[in-house]
């Protein structure tokens, strides 16, 4: 049996894998980070508000971060045990449990690993491109940006593997978070009453 036969058999057995394969192709086409530092337009502001509200923080107002120095400061002061971090982690664990009910662990891990590789390649290229354009010399910029993109892709991939319907996916905070990245931005996280977006 060839590799393509194996893949076809797996896809027939676990239909969510087809969605994950299509999703990985979409990740490769995102123009990652192309608009960081730009003002927030009305549509992006509404998207960010929906993301924050979906996490349970309806009072967190989207705030644009204008330069890498400020973005780095926001990342350095981010608390990984904060309520916002905890909210995302609870969502992630719930999706992981549901995804494991639909797809065996080794198959799910391989699919999510592939998504991570595709996201890392595309996001790292985008980060280097915008770093050259904005003359960001800090070598941590592409590393941190790529890591955030891979995390968002992983979260959205879990959502695809676990969600029961397109409607459940579309309004989920992880789908909204990825759409902020698709708009060429980098959501840095919620701090106090602000959702910082680079």
Tell me, yes or no, whether 7 lies in a domain.
no
The values of phi and psi at residue 197, to 5°, are -130, 125
What's the predicted TM-score (pTM) here?
0.90
- What are the structure tokens assigned to 50, written together? 């929906």
pLDDT, one tens digit for every residue, the chain (198 residues): 343 444 466 667 787 788 888 899 999 999 999 999 899 999 999 999 999 999 999 999 999 999 999 999 989 877 666 899 999 999 999 999 999 988 899 999 989 999 999 999 999 999 999 999 999 999 999 999 999 999 999 999 999 999 766 656 889 999 999 999 999 999 999 988 999 999
Predicted pLDDT at 170: 84
Q: Which of 103, 95, 94 is nearest to 159 (CA)?
A: 95
Sort 29 into a burial class: Cβ within 10 Å, 0-12 / 13-18 / 19+.
Answer: exposed
Predicted pLDDT at 89: 95
Tell me, yes or no, whether 2 lies in a domain.
no
Tell me, yes or no, whether 4 lies in a domain.
no
d(CA 43, CA 29): 21
- What are the structure tokens assigned to 131, written together? 């770093």
Predicted pLDDT at 139: 95
Tell me, yes or no, whether 11 lies in a domain.
no
Tell me, yes or no, whether 24 lies in a domain.
no
What domain count does the chain have? 1
Structural domain harbouring 188: 36-197
Tell me, yes or no, whether 113 lies in a domain.
yes
Tell me, yes or no, whether 18 lies in a domain.
no
Tell me, yes or no, whether 53 lies in a domain.
yes
How far is residue 111 CA from its own chain's centroid?
Answer: 16
If phi over 0 gives left and psi between -120 and 50 gives alpha, with beta otherwise, what is residue 7?
alpha
Predicted pLDDT at 5: 46
């Amino acid at each position: 049996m060839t590799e393509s036969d194996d893949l076809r058999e797996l896809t027939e057995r676990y239909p969510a894998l087809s969605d994950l394969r299509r999703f990985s192709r979409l990740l490769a086409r995102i123009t990652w980070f192309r608009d960081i530092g730009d003002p927030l337009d009305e549509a992006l502001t509404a998207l960010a508000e929906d993301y924050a509200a979906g996490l349970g923080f309806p009072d967190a107002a989207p705030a644009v971060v204008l330069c890498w120095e400020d973005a780095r400061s926001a990342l350095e002061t981010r608390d990984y045990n904060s309520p916002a971090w905890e909210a995302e982690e609870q969502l992630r664990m719930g999706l992981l449990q549901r995804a494991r009910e639909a797809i065996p662990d080794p198959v799910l891990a391989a699919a999510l690993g592939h998504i991570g590789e595709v996201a890392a390649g595309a996001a790292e290229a985008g980060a280097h491109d915008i770093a050259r354009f904005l003359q960001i010399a800090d070598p941590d910029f592409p590393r941190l940006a790529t890591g955030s993109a891979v995390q968002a892709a992983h979260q959205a991939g879990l959502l695809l593997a676990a969600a029961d319907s397109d409607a459940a996916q579309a309004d989920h905070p992880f789908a909204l978070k990825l759409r902020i990245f698709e708009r060429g931005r980098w959501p840095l996280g919620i701090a106090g009453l602000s959702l910082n977006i680079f």
